[in-house]
Amino acid sequence: MYKPLRGIIPATPTPMTEDGSIFPDYVPTLMNHLVSQKVQGIFACGTTGEFASLTVNEQIRMLEAFRDATPSGISLIAHVGRGSVAEACEVSKAAARMQVDRVSIAPPHYYKIGDARMLTEICARVAESADGLPFYYYHIPALSGTSVMMRDFVPLAIKAIPNFKGVKFTNENLMDFMSCVDEFGECAEMIYGRDEMLLAGIATGADAAIGSTFNYMAPVYAQIMQSFQNGDHVSARRWQARAVSVIRLFSRYGGSAVTKAMMKIVGVDCGPNRQPLRNHAKEERTALKNDLEKTGFFEWRNGNEL
């Protein structure tokens, strides 16, 4: 029976060996770590999973590894986006065959999409390839370049895509986000995707969130959600400020390239990044760890009050 997404859902990295090959055999170790963090779902092979640097076959193989390692009770969302619509349909069909729980797609990103109807047509093709699996559009205009407002897209998707369930909204435009929640919330789940703004996303209607920093401090975000739901806004702001104190460091260490360095620091070595993302030398990881210690990260990252 279909259930809407709820809670904290990490966007997982793709484990790799030192030579840059995919490392599906490491996925169970990564999954054990995430289960210990009490996450509610997994978003595999997305931005954090370096999908744009994977071949079609590699993406399918990694989705299989996540499918095999994901325990009952945790929802596996397979990101099937590719640079071409045809390849996205191919990965979507494979995801359906392996019986993942849900699929999602970021749009093709070289030729920018500025029209809601074209975006709907593309999503409809990929969603149809998923053989009825719940389908979510991945809205990340900063990287995809697709500037379509979700207020324009969502009603078209609801009408045109039978298995459309919602949007992973990775953007700062809370007016657009809240408009979708208020107008289409009964038909479309709006899942927030800006870790540093989760509290604002919850305040404007999010019941679930997907983010990269959830891989190593998921309990912090669970505290934000629980505190807000309990009406303790002071506590919610305190936990959000702690998350921000870590995220603020990342501009010094390569932005999105920092995820695997952070995972290594917390004891879950997912290997190197592929180019064009850079990797961190041991000295840089030591400096990052020292900066993290100054924020108190290692004392509160598991949701413990100081």
| Sole residue written with tokens 């709820």 | 6
d(CA 276, CA 20): 12
Q: Among residues 136, 137, 165, 168, which one is catalytic? A: 168
Indicate which residue of 136, 138, 192, 216 is catalytic. 138
DSSP secondary structure, the chain, as one string = ------EEEEB----B-TTS-B-GGGHHHHHHHHHHTT-SEEEESSTTTTGGGS-HHHHHHHHHHHHHHPPTTSEEEEE---SSHHHHHHHHHHHHHTT-SEEEEPPPSSS----HHHHHHHHHHHHHHTTT--EEEEE-HHHH-----HHHHHHHHHHH-TTEEEEEE-SS-HHHHHHHHHHHTTT-EEEE--GGGHHHHHHTT-SEEEESTHHHHHHHHHHHHHHHHTT-HHHHHHHHHHHHHHHGGGGGTTGGGGHHHHHHHTT----PPPTTS----HHHHHHHHHHHHHHTHHHHTTS---
Rounded to whole angstroms, how far apart are CA atoms 92 and 114?
23
> Six-digit token pair at 68?
């095999």
168 tagged catalytic = yes
Which residue's entry shows tokens 């290594």?
264
Widest distance between CA atoms in the chain: 53
Active site residues: 138, 168
